Amino acid sequence: MIDGTRVGDQLRTELQVEIRALQAKGVTPGLAAVLVGDNPASATYVRMKGKACDEAGLYHETIRLPPETSEAELLALVDRLNADNKIHGILVQLPLPKQITTQRVLRRVVPGKDVDGFHPENVGKVLLGDPTGFRPATPYGVQQLLLKSGVDTTGKHAVIVGRSTIVGRPMAALLLQDGPGGNATVTVCHSRTRDIKSITRMADILIVAMGKPEFVTGDMIKPGAVVVDVGTNRVDDPSTKKGYRLVGDVNFAEATHVAGAITPVPGGVGPMTITMLLHNTVQAARQWARA
């Protein structure tokens, strides 16, 4: 079992050394989270980010805006945060209401504060392997989870199921790079891939991020493969107190009989995502202090 909670705690402990060093120079890394509307999942995620900042000793602001907020109002807020020296990282929680053009807002965040890694400048830097670019937190978390769990990616065939700009594509870029956690041979599968089972069964490392509950079954996994399940899905379950349970994109019960190592849901990739967001915020503060 690949324990994301344990690895995340280990990385946060290591991060404390740099946070204290920055604070000794009069710089406290600061993160601003912007939440537009009342999406329950987004609100929960933003609250968890705030709690993680408190525990790590980071300055943070959570700015909540009503669902009817206009694009112009949101852009004006982003401009204010861009100019605020207390804030080193800005994240605009997605999804945004339909009256707002998401890409326009994400591109308004200055690249040096884009700790989500969504700005085209950071996307390009990650693709090129430029360490000053911000790697999106989830794929970066997966890479660190593999590294800290002793999974050698060099020369391995990594298959990614899902081609989103948030996980799948940057995950491929990170695994291809020359260095620790890279040097893999990468195949990306998606909704138009033919005979996907024949491809996933070739994977030494199978990373699944497609948002379909328990899509990957045991017979789609190569015996002994490392399986990383990025998905988090609610499925109805009247037998539970809440009326639902969380499952990943992999059928965990079947996969455990085949895989050599696997991440659980919850407790796998999720804790790593928030940890790497903290890491990116500290990186932003360090680069700001050097500028």
Task: Return the active site residues.
Answer: 49, 93, 116
**List of E strands, 118-204:** 157-161, 185-189
Partners of 31 in the β-ladder: 60, 89
DSSP state letter for 98: T
CA distance 36 to 104: 15
Residues in contact with 76: Cβ distance below 8 Å, sequence separation at least 6, in sequence order: none
Query: Using alpha carbons only, how large is the chain's radius of gyration in Å?
Result: 19
Q: What is the greatest pairwise CA distance in the chain?
A: 56
Residues in contact with 227: Cβ distance below 8 Å, sequence separation at least 6, in sequence order: 206, 208, 216, 221, 250, 255, 259, 261, 262, 263
Partners of 157 in the β-ladder: 185
